[in-house]
Amino acid sequence: MRITKIETMVLGTQWRNLVIVKVSTDEGLVGVGESRPINKVEAAIGYVRDVADRFVIGLDPFDIEQLVRRLTVEDYGRPGEIAMTGLAMIEMACYDIIGKALNQPVYRLLGGAVRDRIKAYANGWYTVERTPEEFAAAARRAVAKGYRALKFDPFGAGYYEAERSEKLKTIALVEAVCDAVGPDVELLIEMHGRFNPVTAVEMARELAPFKPSWYEEPVPPANIPALKKVADAVAPLGIPVATGERIHTLHEYRDLLELHAADVIQPDIAHFGGILNTKKLAAWADIYYVLMAPHNVGGPIATAAALHLAACTPNFKIQENFNDFDEPYVLASAPGLPMVENGYFTLPTGPGLGVTLDEDVVAAHPEQRIHFNLFKEDWHKRNARMK
């Protein structure tokens, strides 16, 4: 079997553009991959087109390791966010083809299931006014959809530091959500790399009484010793530190793991070179007793890929999902994704990734002019369309 064609398309929404890669073969099998390249749609598409003829057309889709080598070694330049995003989309599509060729779900090709359901948490549920009352009401609506864990960034548009009034507002928002959903619902506090270490530690201590399940990306991702400083200060609180969505290669994880700078890592499969690369990272992290909670802002295709990895990864913790809080046509673009029930996804079914691309839905919702900026006021409302 040989790859004969690679096509790209974009599904546009109010705040994210989902890039979809469709890979076709000479035996008629077709696979799909997907990513949400934040504010870099054309760059991701351009990369896929650039490598298609040189490295991918003519390759056997079963040769995943050869694909990875070609795009990360033989292209010589150091792979970063765009290269690893393009590779991930092509690799997902190849795994989709392999599963279809063998009539097996992807997770069975990666060691088989180690769990019969996949714990989930909601994100994107708090697109409301930044008041305790509105956040509490939104949290109750998310729980009503079946979620037992909610992630949110309560910090506004701050960077490095925050005014005292903003700190007090943040505490009030978290308290309101905690009171609204009760002690049985997990809260995961997202910091989006906003703070310097001292501010991150201060806010971690202030929010500790609400018993969050983790603090995510407390400092910007480029300085692992700064993250280690926060992790050491937070450890006595008994609250894990999570990070990793903006780390794109295996080599970049070395210092983080060796310094024990995080308790949970969050590679995004769609920006980390794909399913197999992330599976390798999971095995490596397990040596350090570090858990996996892959970042996922993708639509149904990328989410399906994440579920297959979760199914077969022993040190998996919990899976992020936005799709229940976005336009309904996003899920309709690739039907087949399991739904969240009582806080869990069921395992994917069907061969390959288990979803089927609906190109008519994609064509009906083209790319949008979007600039998503997490450091502007009211960013959380996710109205990112450019005026």
CATH superfamily of this structure's domain 3-103: Enolase-like, N-terminal domain (3.30.390.10)
Instruction: Tell me whether strands 17-25 and 3-12 are parallel, antiparallel or unpaired.
Output: antiparallel
Rg of the chain over Cα atoms, rounded to whole angstroms, equals 20
Q: How confident is the model at residue 387 (pLDDT cuts 50, 70, 90)?
A: low
Q: What is the DSSP string of 140-153?
A: HHHHHTT-SEEEE-
192 classed as catalytic: yes
Neighbouring-strand partners of residue 5:
24
Q: How far apart are CA 289 and CA 369, in angstroms?
A: 42
Residues 304/336, Cβ–Cβ less than 8 Å: yes
- For residue 251, indicate whether it is catalytic: no
Q: Which residue has the tokens 């806010």?
A: 203
Reported as a single tens digit per residue, the pLDDT across 244-253 is 999 999 999 9
Confidence of residue 158 (pLDDT cuts 50, 70, 90): confident
Which of 248, 271, 295, 308 is flagged as catalytic? 295
Q: What is the DSSP string of 274-333?
A: -HHHHHHHHHHHHHTT-EE--B----HHHHHHHHHHHHT-TTB--EEE-GGGS-THHHHT
Over residues 92-116, the pLDDT tens digits come to 999 999 999 999 999 999 999 999 9
Every domain of the chain and the residues it spans: 3-103, 108-355
Which candidate in 192, 248, 308, 380 is catalytic?
Answer: 192
pTM: 0.97
Instruction: Select from 1.10.10.60, 3.30.420.40, 3.20.20.120, 3.40.109.10 the CATH code of 108-355.
Output: 3.20.20.120
Tell me: pLDDT of 21 over 60. Answer: yes
CA proximity to 34, closest of 23, 18, 14, 48: 18
pLDDT in tens, 197-244: 999 999 999 999 999 999 999 999 999 999 999 999 999 999 999 999
